Structure 1
């Protein structure tokens, strides 16, 4: 394995605390460091389109939901990584920018619907295209077989963590 900063950290802990198995940092430390780096690279693309992370997530969720690109705010909250408190703030900004509109549901006047506007669809389509090009660039150093293996491993690990942390009743 090539030497990286985590390898150095593991060697130091092995010397200072040989009584503790520090091997978990080999995975968790690397995932954490990679996550920080990847997030920085991904957010740069979002900013080029005038979007923050939560805004991109909301627009992408509406877009991938299919026509008519409309959802309830509570459903957006469940399907995005935006906190419930953050959804309203993000929707206010997206609405002010003309990327979404909020309307009263014809089925229930108590419900507000969020719909992607034509401008919002254009923005998210351009941002998503560049986002996927960026992610492909970030993965370019991985052998295709390693990438496939890593996707499977991370998928199983994430499913287990999400299952263990899922609130009761969901």
Structure 2
């Protein structure tokens, strides 16, 4: 059992990077990975704010990537049975959805990072720790053009956006 969220964060960020690959070479891949990991980290810390939440997740499991694959159309021709795809069982659909929201909506990202920085058992991180999520530069944006494209991420972001808005106490949650 994992008391931390690192398996879920790693698997969910990996899924996002495979579903919305970087544009460019090795530098673009690294920048895209960092942005996905920062968004997933914030989303996971919001979703599972206490050590008890993380421990329960470790016991019950996050659910896997099957529905995300179906929503994005990625399940059509890929045989996902086997050991090389075991990481996919650690993908958390809600965390992926919330991360997609954060990657495509700068205001939600700011609210989420502020909430994470305000406390919780995972970190007292400052917004500077999530710079590539909050204030991506032109190189970051080019590298993660697909990962940050609102229309492309809409099916994933829409799955659990209302829950994220409610978690953040956003006025948008009342409208949605």
Q: For the superposition of Structure 1 and Structure 2, which TM-score range results when normalised by the shorter chain?
A: under 0.3
| TM-score in terms of structure 1 length | 0.26
Rg larger in structure: 1
Instruction: Between the two structures, name the one with larger relative contact order (CA 8 Å, sep ≥ 6).
Output: 2
- Which of the pair is proportionally richer in strand? 1
